[in-house]
Amino acid sequence: MASFSVDSNRVYVVGTSQGAPAAWDLLKLRPGLFSAATLGARWKGTAPPASIKDVPMRVWHAADDALVNVSQSRELVQALRQAGGHPIYTEFQIGDHIGGIGQGNMSPVIYDWLMAQRRGEASVEGPRLSITTPGSPELLITSSATVDLAGAAEAVGETVTLVRWEHLTTRAKGDALGTNSWSVAAVPLRGNATNVIVVTATTASGFPVNGGTTTFSDTISVASLPITVRLNRQGSIPALSWTGGTGPYRVQKATNFTLADWQDDLTNAQSPLSLEADDSIGFYRVVEP
């Protein structure tokens, strides 16, 4: 790099077959050097997926590869997505080992994508999928038992045919409503756990002769901390305490549980809370806005 005119913001690593796990590990050995990477027809290296998840990456494999089972690349991609990475994965229907690698290396779509990546800059070359609702923080914390998701999917030269979601914690999965603009209502969450949800868009592979598909995704992690409420007595005074959620909290009271006539009793409440002792029957709950 010192001897030649090299753009230090456009250094890439390409690894196929036995070179794929080597390229994987090189990303961790030289952090901050590579603008992007491509991996073809092999398994992952020894570096933790979380340590290289932020490097833009394309992966491809032929489903009929007799030398290296395609499950290896599928597991590689899943590991990156579960860690929060956004690899673009093309799985050719045919091509075997050498042909499958060759199709990826010769693909104008993959080559153009690779050359468009710049270190430290957001990619201007699709495809891409983004979760815009409820946003994409590193970790969303909620007391809710479900989460609604929505976002956008953008392909290059192909039509988005399907958007799916998969809950990697519980293995639940399903189809989203829509494609380029998509939404998912009420994805169930496991309480007191970090829920990892991957939303994936599917297009054709870009190689009609070889068939297959390309998928691209976004990942969101949701910590579900349901509010657990306890009612005790401190002498003659009833006391309400709770755990979970993130606040601010509202304490609501109902006089008729069947009618659910909940009214705010206190806003910006903090646990524990002493309640007024009277002879009336009341029901209490703690909620978040």
Same domain (yes/no): 110, 169 = no
Give yes or no: residues 137 and 87 share one domain: no
Residue range 162-180: mean pLDDT, rounded: 95
Q: Is the pLDDT of residue 7 over 90?
A: yes
- Summary mean pLDDT of the chain: 92
Same domain, 54 and 112: yes
- Does 153 share its domain with 107? no
Domain assignment of residue 138, given as a range: 126-225
Q: pTM for this structure? A: 0.84
Please indicate whether residue 202 or residue 282 has the higher confidence score (pLDDT). 202
CATH number at residue 104: 3.40.50.1820
pLDDT number for residue 136: 63
pLDDT band per the 50, 70, 90 thresholds, residue 279: low
CB–CB of 17/68 below 8 Å? yes
- Is 96 found in the same domain as 7? yes
CB contact set of 289 (below 8 Å; sequence gap of 6+)? 248, 250
Residues 145 and 242 in one domain: no
* Final residue of a structural domain among 66, 98, 125: 125
Is the Cα dihedral 182, 185, 187, 189 positive or negative? positive
Q: Is the pLDDT of residue 168 over 80?
A: yes
Let me know whether 221 and 262 are in one domain: no
Is there a single domain that holds both residue 105 and residue 71? Answer: yes
Residues 121 and 131 in one domain: no
Between 240 and 22, the more confident residue is: 22
b/e string for 45-56 if b means 16 or more Cβ within 10 A? beeebeebbebb
- 165 is written with which tokens? 């979601």
Q: What is the 3-state secondary structure (H, E, C) of 83-116?
A: CCCCCEEEEECCCHHHHHHHHHHHCHHHHHHHHH
User: Residue 155 maps to which CATH number?
Assistant: 2.60.40.10
Let me know whether 46 and 120 are in one domain: yes
* Residue 36 CB partners (closer than 8 Å, separation 6+): 12, 55, 56, 57, 58, 113, 114, 117
The gap between the terminal CA atoms of the chain, to the nearest Å, is 55
Closest CA to 191 of 139, 243, 146, 221: 146
User: Does residue 142 register a pLDDT over 90?
Assistant: no
Last residue of a domain, one of 71, 103, 125: 125
Distance, CA of 175 to CA of 197 (rounded, Å): 13
Specify the pLDDT at position 233: 82
> Does one domain contain both 171 and 278?
no
Q: Does the structure show a pLDDT above 90 at 281?
A: no
Final residue belonging to a domain, choices 210, 225, 240: 225
Q: Does the pLDDT of residue 288 top 90, yes or no?
A: no
Domain count, the chain: 3
Structure tokens of 138? Answer: 């590193």
Q: How far is CA 271 from the centre of its chain?
A: 33
Tell me if 91 sits within 8 A of 109, measured CB to CB: no
Q: Are residues 4 and 97 both part of a single domain? A: yes
For the stretch 175-178, contacts whose Cβ atoms lie closer than 8 Å and that sit 24 or more positions apart, written own/partner, are 176/149
